[in-house]
Amino acid sequence: MLEEILEDPDFPGLEEVIIGSWGDPAQEDCQALLDGIVEHADRFAHITSLFVGDMDFEECEVSWIIQGNYSRLWQAMPQLKSLTIKGSTDLDLGEIAHENLENLTIICGGLGSDVMAQIKEAKLPRLKKLLLYIGVDNYGFDGNADTIREMLEGSDFPNLTYLGIVDSEIQDELTEVALQSKYIRQITTLDLSCGTLTDKGGQLLLEQVPGLPNLEKLDVHYHYLSDELMGKLEQLSLEVDVSEQEEADDWNGKLWYNAMLTE
């Protein structure tokens, strides 16, 4: 695949590379691709946006995607502004240090605490957007609300304007974490979408968002809010996305709430 990318006559004029399935991503990692990019760093010097793992469930379930070690990529691609990674199995970000990265997105069914610890220590002075799919414990998430709280409080992203803590089965707890984070008065977009947000978390937003004039957008699409809470949030004086209202599953009298992306 790397050879095909390099031999493509359109490649020298591109700014973005999106890599989908590398064959059998549930059995083989993408390390050869990552190493190839590093080894041909001069050939990739014009690429400012990289997405590794763009595939749907028909190609490979997100929790099955075997990722790789990105520790050498940071130095090899100093011009990179956006990095999106899909899949968290065997994901290793290494020691993150990059002067120009503005967007870091990790899409997965479960984000490990080891990766969050690496993000906590990241040196990304120009980072504007951090979007993390937290996922569920069955597919890789091995922490709790305190894990995310410690990651946010220990990190240092002075230019962050978009905070996305999404796709969690503890979305109400993470809503409180996000609202208490040190970034809440500097960001313009708060993304708490794709998780199990209920009226408990919705009420916290209703009470605290009006006191945050810096916020321009609140994204909670895919949620379990009541019609009443949805209506109240929509009346707030900022852009609010409350689309994709879900209903809990009733199984033997117990209600089950599911995050959007898990397996």
pLDDT exceeds 90 at position 60 = yes
Model pLDDT, residue 200: 98
Q: pTM surpassing 0.75?
A: yes
Which conformational region is residue 55 in: left (phi greater than 0), alpha (psi within -120 to 50 degrees), or beta? beta
What's 109's DSSP letter?
A: S
User: Percent of the chain, pLDDT > 70?
Assistant: 100
**Bridge partner list, 69:** 92
Residue whose structure tokens are 């130095």:
75
Q: pLDDT at position 225, please?
A: 98
Instruction: State residue 20's pLDDT score.
Output: 96
Q: Please give the average per-residue pLDDT across 60-88, as a whole number.
A: 97
Summarised one tens digit per residue, pLDDT across range 127-186 is 999 999 999 999 999 999 999 999 999 999 999 999 999 999 999 999 999 999 999 999
Radius of gyration for the alpha carbons in the chain, expressed in angstroms and rounded: 19
Q: How confident is the model at residue 253 (pLDDT cuts 50, 70, 90)?
A: confident
Q: How many CB atoms lie within 10 A of CB 15?
A: 11
Q: What is the pLDDT of residue 252?
A: 86
